Each structure stands twice: as structure tokens, then as C-alpha cells.
Amino acid sequence: MSRIPFNRPSHVGPESEYVQDAITRRKLAGDGYYTKKATAWFQEHWGVAQCLLTTSCTHAMELAALLYDLKPGDEVILPSFTFVSTVNAFLLRGVTPVFVDIEPNTLNIDVSQLEQHITEKTRLIVPVHYGGTSCDMTRLMEIAKRRGVEVFEDAAQAIDGEWNGQKLGTFGSMSALSFHETKNIICGEGGALLINDPAFVQRAEIIREKGTNRSQFMRGMVQKYTWMDIGSSYLPSDMLAAYLVAQLENMEQIQSRRGEIFTRYYEGLRPLQESGKLTLPVFSTSSKINYHMFYFWVESRDVRDELIDFMRERDIQLVFHYQPLHVSPMGMKLGGKEGTLPVTEDIPHRLLRLPFFYDLTLEEQQRVLSGLFEFFGEEFSK
Ligand SMILES: *Cc1c(COP(=O)(O)O)cnc(C)c1O
């Protein structure tokens, strides 16, 4: 029997053809034919003011941190239960991260604890839509507006997720998506900065193009381009955009397949939840989830470790995350202390993620389920 990895990047159809076509067009740099197509897709389908493809979600966040003009001493509020990039992007600007605990069901920032962390130095609130599930964006946006703080969404995992019928990534003044091979819609490495507040558009194009107005030049708006501002280079090659366009055009198919896999796991594991062996997440009716990952909780760290080993012997890879950032070596250097964020410090020890990707087969999924039932000493029926 072959190994069932935790992730296997998949292509769904026209990827090779489009990448080949990008090569044939003999324009491999950024902002070519396919990049424009991808950008137009987000403007058309999501109504964002601008979409800028970037080399990663990490880079989209770094670009955003430059655009918000963050300075040393400014404070940014964010969860500690997240990927390192969410914090690094802002730390690079010298800001002080203020970590807030998560809510135990969605594992998203606990909105009821936000206000007590807002000070006159707070510039930004950064919600992370964990697993593509929204936190309470109605309350979060209301608090941000009332307190005069901007919102930036880390929507790396959240493509196609919604809160009350509105796409995640369209609430904040800006947001970032990831197309890393572990996400729903992929191109290997890549991301996008979505800009909802038009005031950021012009400067974003300049910073992304090494601080020059080359984008305006390419559109024939200026005679020659020149150095206008600070900047960096965040453009992905058009070959990567070609792969991405193939995925975007097939997003419905990708999402519906992921939905089937998700439902099969969820329904399949219900008996184990009923007998108290594990806990499945519950989703708010205001959330449209995007089937980014499949996770559940077990009773303790020991059970988690035993289960990982048990499944590894059956060639099935289970993983967990995130080590809370505030008590990581870097977080401690910033003054993080144990015991300050109880939910964040408890959850990763009991959380498990199952193999979950587009072309996971029915047979593979049944192997995963039957392994779990065997571990918990219960009968598995297909
Ligand atoms: C994947 C991920 C990122 C980083 O995305 P890259 O495209 O790899 O830079 C950032 N934040 C979260 C929550 C993620 O899951």
C-alpha cells in the first residue's frame, strides 16, 4: 500500500497547456498575459479595487505593512495561533505585535477580547481566517470602525470562504491570499494582495515594482518610468500565473471535490465523536467554509502523539500546528510568557489534521478512517 501524505499538490486540467503557452509567448517576467487574467478574475468575481499577484502571501503581507506606513512603536493586534509570516511581515517594520487569545471552536482571534488590547498606539487588527473559517467579522469590523483602527485580513487559507454572504478578503482595507501548494488554489509558491480601499492602489503598484511607476508606464499613462518611492520586487513570473489561471478557472470543480472529501470525513467520524473519542469543529451558520483543511481534537497530548505514531505505522501522515508564537524562541525574545493565552497554549497539543487534498481517493480516505476507528477500538463500516 502506498503512503498517504498529508498534502499532495494536484493539477486539474489545463495547467501544463497554459504554462507551455506562457513559455511560447516569450514573456516570462511578471505582469504578462496570465498575470493580467488572474488579476481580472479577482476584480470581476470579488469586486476588489485591485488585485496584485505576488511571489507569496508572505510578500503580500510585507507589501501591505509598507503601505500602512507602520513605524516602530505602532501596535498590531493579531492571534498567536498562526503561521510565522503573519507576524514577521509587521515585525520587519519594527512594530510591536500584541497577541490575543483565540476562541476555542473556530480557533480564530477571540473578538470579545479585542477592545481591551486596543491602545492609542494600535494601528491595525489582523484577523487570520483559520482553516478558511471566518471569525465574527460583523463584530470585528464594528469595533475597528468605532476605535478608528484599520483591518488587514490574513486570508491565506480562506479563498472562497464567506461571512454572511461576503467573501473573506473583502472586509479589511486590504487582505492577502496564498497559492502555496498546500492551499486550495495553488501555483507552487505565490500570493495576492487584495486592495479594497482604492486609496492604496497607486502606491501599492509602485512599491511592488521596485519603487518605480513602471505599471503606469506599461499602461501608457506616463512617457517613461522613474524612481518614485521605496520599493521591492514582488512580481511572480507569468509561468506561475499561467498555472494559477488554470486553477482559478476550475475553482468550482476544485471546491466541490474538496467539499465531498470534507463531508465524507465529517460524517465518517461522527460515531467517534458520539462515543467521546474525539471532537469535531462546529461552524457558525454565518460562515460559508471553504474546505481548506480537516481537523479535530483529541483528549490529550499523549493521545495525539500515540495516534500520530499509530497512523505512521500504516503509512498515513497526520500533522498538527501551530506552536504558539508568543512562547516560541522568537516570541520569548519579544517578551512572550507562558500562561498568558490559555486557549492558544492548549489547542495545538490536542489538534490533528488529516490528509486532505483535491485528488485524495475514496480508497485512501477509507484507509484513513479505518485506521482512526482501529486506534480507538471501534468498528468501522464503509
Ligand atoms: C500559508 C499561510 C501563510 C503564508 O503563505 P505563503 O504564500 O507561503 O507565504 C500565511 N498565513 C497563513 C495563515 C497561512 O496559512
CATH number for the domain that contains residue 159: 3.40.640.10
Which residues are within 8 A (CB) of 3 and not within 5 positions of it... i.e. 6 or more apart?
315, 316, 317
- Ligand 1 atom closest to Cα of 58? 9
Same domain, yes or no, for 224 and 268?
A: no
Cα-based torsion angle of the residue sequence 267, 316, 178, 249 in order, rounded to the nearest 10 degrees? -70
* Nearest to 8, CA basis, from 234, 186, 175: 186
Length of the chain: 382
Whether 9 is in a domain gets the answer no
156 lines ligand 1 (CB under 6 A): yes
Report whether 69 contacts 46 (CB < 8 A).
no
> What integer pLDDT is reported at residue 381 of this predicted model?
84
- Ligand 1 atom closest to Cα of 178? 7
Which residues are within 8 A (CB) of 330 and not within 5 positions of it... i.e. 6 or more apart?
none
Whether 158 is in a domain gets the answer yes
Number of Cβ within a 10 Å radius of residue 144: 23
Distance of CA 125 to the CA centre of its chain: 16
Which residues are within 8 A (CB) of 299 and not within 5 positions of it... i.e. 6 or more apart?
350
Where among 249, 277, 298 does a domain terminate?
Answer: 249
How far apart CA 132 and CA 158 sit, in angstroms, is 4
Same domain, yes or no, for 168 and 225?
A: yes
Question: Which of 80, 180, 244 has the most ligand 1 atoms within 8 A of CB, as the residue to mutate?
Answer: 180
- Ligand 1 atom closest to Cα of 130? 13
Whether 65 is in a domain gets the answer yes
Same domain, yes or no, for 158 and 267?
A: no
Give the residue numbers spanning the domain of 369.
Answer: 251-375
Report whether 280 contacts 268 (CB < 8 A).
no
Number of Cβ within a 10 Å radius of residue 335: 9
> What integer pLDDT is reported at residue 333 of this predicted model?
96
- The 10s digit of each residue's pLDDT in 15-71 is 999 999 999 999 999 999 999 999 999 999 999 999 999 999 999 999 999 999 999
Q: Is the pTM of this model over 0.95?
A: yes
Where among 249, 277, 300 does a domain terminate?
Answer: 249
Same domain, yes or no, for 216 and 316?
A: no
Q: How many angstroms separate the alpha carbon of residue 74 from the centre of ligand 1?
A: 23
Same domain, yes or no, for 259 and 188?
A: no
pLDDT, mean of residues 331-360: 95
How far apart CA 218 and CA 221 sit, in angstroms, is 8
Helix axis angle for 251-274 and 362-375, nearest 10°, is 20
pLDDT, mean of residues 65-85: 97
Whether 30 is in a domain gets the answer yes
Same domain, yes or no, for 215 and 274?
A: no
* Nearest to 157, CA basis, from 85, 66, 88: 85
Report whether 261 contacts 291 (CB < 8 A).
yes
57 lines ligand 1 (CB under 6 A): yes
* Nearest to 151, CA basis, from 77, 89, 95, 49: 77
Whether 345 is in a domain gets the answer yes
Where among 231, 249, 267 does a domain terminate?
Answer: 249
* Atom 8 of ligand 1, residue of closest alpha carbon: 180
Number of Cβ within a 10 Å radius of residue 250: 18
Q: Total structural domains in the chain?
A: 2
85 lines ligand 1 (CB under 6 A): yes
Same domain, yes or no, for 262 and 226?
A: no
Same domain, yes or no, for 240 and 98?
A: yes
Whether 235 is in a domain gets the answer yes
Whether 54 is in a domain gets the answer yes
178 lines ligand 1 (CB under 6 A): yes
Cβ-based burial of 280 (10 A; exposed 0-12, middle 13-18, buried ≥19): middle
82 lines ligand 1 (CB under 6 A): yes
* Atom 5 of ligand 1, residue of closest alpha carbon: 57
Question: Three cell numbers at 205?
Answer: 503598484
Helix axis angle for 84-91 and 57-67, nearest 10°, is 30
83 lines ligand 1 (CB under 6 A): yes
Q: How many angstroms separate the alpha carbon of residue 51 from the centre of ligand 1?
A: 17
157 lines ligand 1 (CB under 6 A): yes
- Ligand 1 atom closest to Cα of 82? 13
Asked whether the predicted pLDDT for residue 1 surpasses 80, the reply is no
Whether 90 is in a domain gets the answer yes
Same domain, yes or no, for 196 and 294?
A: no
Question: Going along 91-245, which residue ranges are E strands?
Answer: 96-100, 122-125, 150-154, 162-163, 166-167, 174-178, 191-195
Lowest mean pLDDT among 182-186, 281-285, 305-309: 281-285
Tell me what percent of the residues of the chain surpass a pLDDT of 70. Answer: 100
Helix (H) or strand (E) run with residue 287 in it? strand 287-288
In the 8-state DSSP scheme, what is residue 165? T
Q: What share of the chain is helix, strand, coil (3-state, %, to 5)?
A: 40, 15, 45
Same domain, yes or no, for 152 and 186?
A: yes
* Nearest to 126, CA basis, from 93, 158, 162, 100: 100
Asked whether the predicted pLDDT for residue 167 surpasses 90, the reply is yes
Question: Three cell numbers at 247?
Answer: 486553477
Same domain, yes or no, for 47 and 155?
A: yes
154 lines ligand 1 (CB under 6 A): yes
* Nearest to 180, CA basis, from 116, 236, 256: 236
Same domain, yes or no, for 238 and 287?
A: no
Helix axis angle for 15-24 and 33-46, nearest 10°, is 130
Q: With bands split at pLDDT 50, 70 and 90, how would you rate the model's confidence at 111? A: very high
Chain-wide mean pLDDT for the chain?
A: 96
Asked whether the predicted pLDDT for residue 328 surpasses 80, the reply is yes
CATH code assigned at 362: 3.90.1150.10
